Amino acid sequence: MENQVLTPHVYWAQRHRELYLRVELSDVQNPAISITENVLHFKAQGHGAKGDNVYEFHLEFLDLVKPEPVYKLTQRQVNITVQKKVSQWWERLTKQEKRPLFLAPDFDRWLDESDAEMELRAKEEERLNKLRLESQGSPESKLPLPLRQLPVNCDRVGGMDECEMDECETAVALILCRIRLLLIDHRKPDYLSINQLSMQSIYGAAQIALTSLKKGYLFMYNFVQFLGFSWIFVNMTVRFFILGKGKYRISKPVFSVHFMPFIVLSHLLLPMALRNRQTGYSVHLTESFYDTFHTMADMMYFCQMLSAVETINAAIGVTQSPVTPSLIQLLGRNFILFIIFGTVEEMQNKAVVFFVFYIWSTVEIFRYPFYMLSCIDMNWKVLTWLRYTVWIPAYPLGCLAEAVSVIQSIPVFNETGRFSFTLPYPVKIKVRFSFFLQIYLIILFLGLYVNIRHLYKQRRRHFGQKKKKIH
C-alpha cells in the first residue's frame, strides 16, 4: 500500500514586503525548502500531528516572490520568511481562491493592512530619528576610521585659518573639510580612498530630506485642492440661499411643500412636454441654478486639471493609491466638464450643472483635509468618518447627475452635429457623437461600480470587523 502524503499545519501572516510561514513540526533537521516557479516546496522529517514522519506541502503564491526563502529551525517549529518582489498587500496567500485545509492565519503575527502600514511607518520613523540623532551628535564620531586618524590642524595650513573643524556641524561638512585639507596639504596616505568614505550619514540625511520634501509636496497639493473646492462649495451654498429665496415657482398652488423634492427631480429628469402632460405643473428655478457654470467654471477647470497630479502620483509611486480608480474619476469628471459642459453653450445654462458641481465639491471638501492631516501623521476621527461615509450617498447621486447631463446633451449634439464625422468612401456613413455618448453612459456606471468597490474596501478596512476566515 502506497504511503499517504502527510501535510503539517502551516500558519501564515504578511507585511507589505514579507511573508511569514510557521510550520508546526518539531525536531526537524535538514529540511528541503525551495521556491521554483513561484511555488514553495517543503519536505522534512519531523514530529507533527501524525507522529514522527516525513511531511511535505506545496504552495503557489498569489503574486511573485523572490526565490530565496530564509528559514530558522527551532525545537518546536520551522519559521520561513519569503520576500515579495513588489511591496504591496495581498488579499490572500495562495493563487487558488480556496484555502488549503492545512493552511491557517497566524494570529500571533497577524495585522490588518492599516495596522501593517502604521507598523511600517513607525519603523521608518524610528530609523530616520536614529539617523537624525546621530547626525546631531559629535561630527568626529561619524567619520570613518581612516579619516579620524588624519591630523587636523588648520593653523599650519596656509590660508586655511578660517576653516575651523569646530564649526563643522555635520558629518558631511567635516568629510568635505578633511578632503579639502588633504588636497591643499598634498597628503595622500596609502589607506585613504574614496571607496573608504562612509556614505551612511549622507544617505541618511538625503533620505530624511526627501521624506520631508514628499510630505510637504503632498500637503501643499491637498491644501490647494481643499481651498479650491471649498471656494466652490461655499460660493454655491451662499448663492443658493441668497438668490434662492422663492426659488421655486409652481403653477399649481395646491401642491404641498412635501412634494418639492419630487417636483425638482422631475424638472431635471423629465422632458418639458412629458412633465407638463403628466403633472400639469411647471417649475422655475432662479439664477443660482442657471448661472452656476459661468460663476464657478474657472475654479472648477483649475481644480480638475490639477487633479491629474493624483493619477501621476499613484502611477510613479509617490502615493500608494491604486491607479485605476483615480484614473476613472479623472477622465470621467473631465469629460463631463470639458466636453459636455465646456463645448456646448446650451448645457451651460441648465440646472444639472449646479448639482454636478455641488456634489463634486461636497466629496472633496472632506477628502482633501483627510489627506492633509495624513501627511503630518494626524488622525481626526470625525474627519476620517466623514471621508469614508460621505461618498455613500454622494457617489451614486453624482453619477446620476452626470448621466442626466449626458442624456440632456444628446439632442444638442444631434442638432448641431458637433464632433460628428462621416466615414470615408465607400462607406460614407455619418457617425454621430451621440452614439459615443450612449456608450459612455454604460462606461459611466461601470466606473461607478469600480470606485464604490474600492471605497467600500477602504471603509471596511477602517471601520469594518475582521474577517472570520482569512486565508
Q: Which residues pair with 22 in a beta bridge?
A: 11, 79
Distance (Å, whole) CA 145 – CA 126: 26
Q: Which residues pair with 42 in a beta bridge?
A: 33, 57
Burial of 298 (0-12, 13-18, 19+ CB in 10 A): exposed
Catalytic hit among 287, 402, 440, 449: 402
How confident is the model at residue 201, as a pLDDT? 57
Residue at grid coordinates 503632498: 218
For 210, residues 6+ apart whose C-beta sits below 8 A from its C-beta are none
* Residue spans of beta strands (DSSP E) within 98-143: 103-105
Given the candidates 3.90.870.10, 1.20.1250.20, 2.60.40.790, 3.20.20.80, the CATH classification of the domain at 10-110 is 2.60.40.790
For 350, residues 6+ apart whose C-beta sits below 8 A from its C-beta are 290, 405, 408
Burial of 47 (0-12, 13-18, 19+ CB in 10 A): middle
Question: What's the half-sphere exposure (Cβ side, CA atoms, 13 Å) at 273?
Answer: 0
User: Is the CB of residue 109 less than 8 Å from the CB of residue 20?
Assistant: yes
Sign of CA dihedral 400, 401, 406, 412: positive
The region, left, alpha or beta by phi > 0 then psi within -120 to 50, assigned to residue 56 is: beta
Give Dmax (Cα) for the chain.
103
Q: Which residues pair with 36 in a beta bridge?
A: 39
User: Is the CB of residue 14 less than 8 Å from the CB of residue 80?
Assistant: no
How confident is the model at residue 165, as a pLDDT? 41
How confident is the model at residue 8, as a pLDDT? 92
Catalytic hit among 395, 415, 425, 449: 395
Q: Where are the domains of the chain?
A: 10-110, 117-198, 214-247+285-463
For the chain, the residue count is 471
Q: Is 11 a catalytic residue?
A: no
How confident is the model at residue 339, as a pLDDT? 93
How confident is the model at residue 365, as a pLDDT? 95
Set of cell numbers at residue 465: 470587523
For 23, residues 6+ apart whose C-beta sits below 8 A from its C-beta are 8, 9, 10, 42, 44, 77, 78, 79, 80
Q: Is 395 a catalytic residue?
A: yes
pLDDT along the chain (471 residues), means of 10: 76 91 90 92 90 91 92 91 91 88 88 74 74 60 48 42 42 51 45 46 70 89 95 91 54 41 44 41 56 90 94 87 88 93 90 93 94 86 90 93 94 89 83 91 91 87 56 43
